[in-house]
A = this chain, B = another copy of it.
């Protein structure tokens, strides 16, 4: 090694030793006879000191030339620091330099390489290799390494085998968002990149692999919301001879293991909630239960009193914001504006102040007596000093709107502490959703999910509305309102799988063409099995206490799917296309 030590390891026990460090110049202070340099590497920062007369003239000259981000090799003696710096791990010592060599000069970087940078998003992404020099970003990727390592340790200890499944697979018409790859050796034919290794992991179960995992890249060519990436990473797992309870046990265990190892948190037993309750009480299938503020339904109390908005509503439902009765008019108007934003979509909001003096004051006093409002307050479990916020309309939409309002209130009231973690299994999802536009059923998870009640499922056909009442043997892991993982017990019986394809509107030929290999595999002894996949990028960002996954990915793409650093995607050589038997065909 060009160095004897890293820039993070020298302590007062090293005093007197001759050492050589390599790293980047973080700071230079030149006071004439003395020059101080902060030298930085991945492991820390060490202060170098050069004294005119003691260091060689060439070293003094090199130190004077060295600007920020120059790469240096510096040799000297560890000495005690006069002004110790308790904030630095190496703050007790400094290096009295005998010689310095500039290994590589550096231009002034386009933004500050510091914890708080002046670089905007685009600039940081263009120079991602410089952004990655910043401590918080590096810490994110170190955290990612550790989450990966601890995941492997846990799963390996439970006999899971890491099996790599192929990246060049088969496109399915269902997978409209597949990335595809022309095959040079098979003109006119294409591979697809996997949206998940779903069928392969199921085949591994048919193979008797019993317990499989993989930390694996997956791909989805869809319009990217701010926090999606065309390539993302999953912790992908599957087990044989299990019931749902076994999966919850093993992967609840993984979650606890990670919290313990990564965050030092002893997680209590993971709570469970049915999908129906999640929708009823939180208006969403991934409730943030760091705070309570459950939905309370008022429809029966609120209707028939002459208020046309409520009378015409399918659902009147609200939440209590504790100790918010004192909200100013302006604050309440802000909330009304919030729910009326197009992203939320409510027409308006009704509020009831439960004043400290016990009186009640609402925005609908014209229609309701104080006595009636009191009944609402009882239903809400509200206390004097609380504020009730009420929305109404079509049930589904109103719940979704109130979910937005609840989260907004949670944020405003500081109830969503990023250092507090609430983990939840959401269970008993519906198996199928009916799409009114396309007049057909869609799988809520995917077509390999086992119905909870297989017997009932087999009795219905695609025209039965009862299909909507069948639960899936599925589960989602939700942390702080974010869906981190999801999976299901799978269908392992060919007849059930065929029935599923049938109710989803596949013809037998289509099912055979796309999933023939899986259906055939089911004929050769498929064991009962189930699994789960965790969004690895998301999991890391949660552990890092951040909203965005981008800074937990070394080289992310922007919302147009572009890597602005390497300038990709880009045009390719026409000769290359010709060899691949494809041509560009841009529609006017």
List A residues at the B interface (Cβ < 8 Å): 1-3, 6, 22-24, 40-43, 69-71, 73, 103-107, 109, 127-130, 132-133, 138, 141-142, 144-145, 148-149, 152, 156, 161-171, 173, 176, 178-193, 199-200, 203-204, 206-210, 217, 219, 221, 223-224, 230-231, 233, 240-243, 246, 492-493, 516-517, 521-528, 553-555, 557, 560-563, 565-573, 576-587
Establish whether residues A584 and B581, one from each chain, have CB atoms under 8 Å apart when the complex forms: yes
Establish whether residues A129 and B185, one from each chain, have CB atoms under 8 Å apart when the complex forms: no
| Contact among B105, B163, B565 with A554 in the assembled complex (CB-CB below 8 Å) | B163
Residues of B within 8 A of A208 (CB): 23-24, 40-42, 132-133, 138
Residues of B within 8 A of A2 (CB): 241-243, 528
- Would you mind naming 12 contact pairs between A and B with Cβ atoms under 8 Å apart? A41-B210, A106-B523, A129-B203, A132-B207, A148-B162, A178-B576, A186-B561, A189-B571, A192-B568, A192-B572, A203-B555, A581-B586
Residues of B within 8 A of A555 (CB): 165-166, 200, 203
Establish whether residues B525 and A106, one from each chain, have CB atoms under 8 Å apart when the complex forms: yes
CB distance from A229 to the nearest CB of B (A): 9
Establish whether residues B524 and A191, one from each chain, have CB atoms under 8 Å apart when the complex forms: no
Establish whether residues B190 and A493, one from each chain, have CB atoms under 8 Å apart when the complex forms: no
Establish whether residues B585 and A171, one from each chain, have CB atoms under 8 Å apart when the complex forms: no
| Contact among B24, B132, B184, B207 with A209 in the assembled complex (CB-CB below 8 Å) | B132
Establish whether residues A180 and B180, one from each chain, have CB atoms under 8 Å apart when the complex forms: no
| Further contacts, 19 of them, CB under 8 A, given A166-B563, A168-B219 | A2-B242, A3-B241, A40-B208, A42-B209, A103-B492, A104-B526, A105-B525, A107-B524, A132-B204, A132-B208, A133-B207, A145-B162, A168-B568, A192-B572, A203-B555, A217-B217, A516-B567, A578-B587, A582-B583
* Complex-state Cα separation, A231 to B191, whole angstroms: 12
Residues of B within 8 A of A163 (CB): 141, 144-145, 554
Counting from the closest, the 5 A-B pairs by CB-CB distance are: A106-B525, A132-B207, A170-B568, A189-B569, A583-B585
Q: Name A493's closest neighbour in chain B (CB-CB).
A: B104
Residues of B within 8 A of A181 (CB): 179-181, 193, 569
Establish whether residues B557 and A168, one from each chain, have CB atoms under 8 Å apart when the complex forms: yes
Establish whether residues A517 and B566, one from each chain, have CB atoms under 8 Å apart when the complex forms: yes
Establish whether residues A103 and B162, one from each chain, have CB atoms under 8 Å apart when the complex forms: no
Establish whether residues A186 and B562, one from each chain, have CB atoms under 8 Å apart when the complex forms: yes
CB distance from A93 to the nearest CB of B (A): 20
Establish whether residues A585 and B576, one from each chain, have CB atoms under 8 Å apart when the complex forms: no
Establish whether residues B3 and A569, one from each chain, have CB atoms under 8 Å apart when the complex forms: no
* Complex-state Cα separation, A249 to B468, whole angstroms: 63
* Complex-state Cα separation, A565 to B166, whole angstroms: 12
Establish whether residues B525 and A71, one from each chain, have CB atoms under 8 Å apart when the complex forms: yes
CB distance from A550 to the nearest CB of B (A): 13
Residues of B within 8 A of A580 (CB): 180
Residues of B within 8 A of A166 (CB): 231, 555, 557, 563
Residues of B within 8 A of A43 (CB): 210
